[in-house]
Structure 1
Amino acid sequence: MKLYYSPAACSLAVHIALREAGLPVTLARVDLIHHTLAEPEHGTNDYYAINPRGYVPLLQLDDGSRHTEASALLQYIADQVPARNLLPQAGTEARLEAVRWLTLISTELHKVFSPWLWHKETAASTIEECKTKIHKRFAEIDQHLATREYLMGQQFTVADAYCFTIASWARLLHIPMNAYPSLQDYLSRVAARPAVQDAMRAEGLVRD
């Protein structure tokens, strides 16, 4: 498989999941500002030629098919290696809860952070509204994590890969997190996982 990614973007969640699953993957770095590839493919570095939507992640499977949308890719990856327990069994109440977390992160965090807080032209009123929503969700997650190691309890799942990636954007955007000690501990705990370290190292986010 090949993962098209940009460092620290939402594609990091998929990158982490692939490494947690132990699946082999090659990486193709994308410049999301110019929508270009770091290494040209088929004579072009135009990322739109690979993904007309222009964003990451994009996962190219071994059969050459290409697929997008982080929450969908995370579920696909987890299901490839069920022995890794990256998602509960399909059809169970636990699976429903895990998918609920993936959906909440996608709609209530990911799409509140992005694109609004990454663009200088975003109106100040919009920025404040987004931050208010983020703090509300952070408070909810912080309370949930006060008695749990991970979102689903003691077992790391792909929902944690997604939550870690998106919640970590707060630090990049200088959004205070002092009010969320359990969430901060959780982020440190996830960051310390070997697969997470490997993914971040490969993306140049941490150094040996």
Structure 2
Amino acid sequence: MKLYYNPGVCSLAPHIALREAGLGFSLEKVDPAAGRTASGQDYLAVNPNGYVPALEIEPGLVLTEGPAIMQYIADRAPEAGLAPANGTMERYKLQSWLNFITSEIHKGFSPLFKPGMPAEAKTQFKELLGKRFDYVAQHLSTQDHLLDSGFSVADAYLFVTTGWCGFVGIELERWPALVAFRKRIQARPAVQAAMRAEGLIK
């Protein structure tokens, strides 16, 4: 398998999942602005939408969209416990969290990275994200992970997206439960390995 990624963005979550799962894979860095990969490949031929992540499962078979990719990875290595079994209520809870993170948190950051976005609008988007963080922090104030069963791919996704706060002027310290959560997740060996491979830490 090959993961197409860009350092520090949402593709870090499936990168973490791959290492947690212990699956064999290679990495191909993408320059979204140029639309090319590090090896010179036309990335639009891989993912016509032009963004990461994309997971090439085998030649000619590519899966896109982070939540789908992470569930595929988890199901390839069920012994790693990254996702509850399909058809169980716990699996639906995982999907609920993945949908919440992708639509309410991940996409909530998007306007904040646009240089032309008016300051007043950015303030409104930050306030909305703050309400989402209130909800997640309350949940994490009584447990270490999003699911009762322990670490899952949803935790990897939440870890990655909350890591963007410093880049857009959101003080995550307002939510001690989220700060503690991030410390727990970052301490995991697979998370450390993924961040090191992407040049995010030494």
TM-score w.r.t. the length of structure 2 is 0.96
* Structure 2 equivalent of residue 97 of structure 1: 93
Q: For residues 121 and 29 of structure 1, what CA distance do their matches in structure 2 show? A: 27
Contact in 2 for aligned 1:5/1:56 (Cα 8 Å): yes
Q: Following the alignment from structure 1 to structure 2, what is the Cα–Cα distance between the partners of residues 176 and 188?
A: 15
Report the residue type matching 1:106 in the other structure.
Answer: T
Q: Give me the whole-angstrom Cα distance separating, in 1, the residues matched to 2:46 and 2:92.
A: 33
SS in structure 2 at match of 1:131: helix
Structure 2: distance between partners of 1:98 and 1:37: 32
Q: Report the counterpart of residue 120 of structure 1 in structure 2.
A: 115
AA aligned to 2:120 is: S
How far apart are residue 128 of structure 1 and its match? Answer: 1.5
Q: RMSD in angstroms over aligned alpha carbons?
A: 1.2
Aligned positions of 1:21-32 closer than 5 A: 21-32=21-32
1:76 aligns to what?
72
Q: Provide the residue aligned with 2:144 in structure 1.
A: 149
Partner of 1:101, secondary structure, is helix
Shift of 1:154: 5.4
**CA-to-aligned-CA distance 1:34-80 (integer Å, 9 cap, x gap):** 22222223xxxx32232211100000012431111001111111111
Deviations 1:97-124 (A, max 9, x none): 111000000100011112x111101122
Q: What corresponds to 1:107 in structure 2?
A: 103
- 8 Å CA contact 1:148–1:154 kept in 2: the answer is no
Tell me the distance in 1 between the aligned counterparts of 2:177 and 2:170.
16
Q: Which runs of 5+ in 1 are unaligned?
A: none
Distance 1:160 1:113 in 2: 18
Alignment of 1:1-208 (within 5 A): 1-41=1-41, 46-114=42-110, 116-153=111-148, 155-207=150-202
Q: Structure 2: which amino acid aligns with 1:60? A: E
Equivalent pairs counted in the alignment come to: 202
User: What is the SS of the residue equivalent to 2:172?
Assistant: coil
Q: Amino acid of the residue matched to residue 15 of structure 1? A: H
Q: State TM-score, norm by structure 1.
A: 0.93
Q: Which runs of 5+ in 2 are unaligned?
A: none
- The aligned amino acid for 2:54 is L
Between 100-109 and 31-40, the greater mean CA deviation after superposition: 31-40
Distance in 1 (alpha carbons) for counterparts of 2:132 and 2:33: 28
Task: For 1:190, give the aligned amino acid.
Answer: I
Range that drifts further, 172-181 or 183-192: 172-181
Whole-Å Cα distance in 1 between the matches of residues 125 and 61 of structure 2?
35
State the AA in 1 paired with 2:127: T
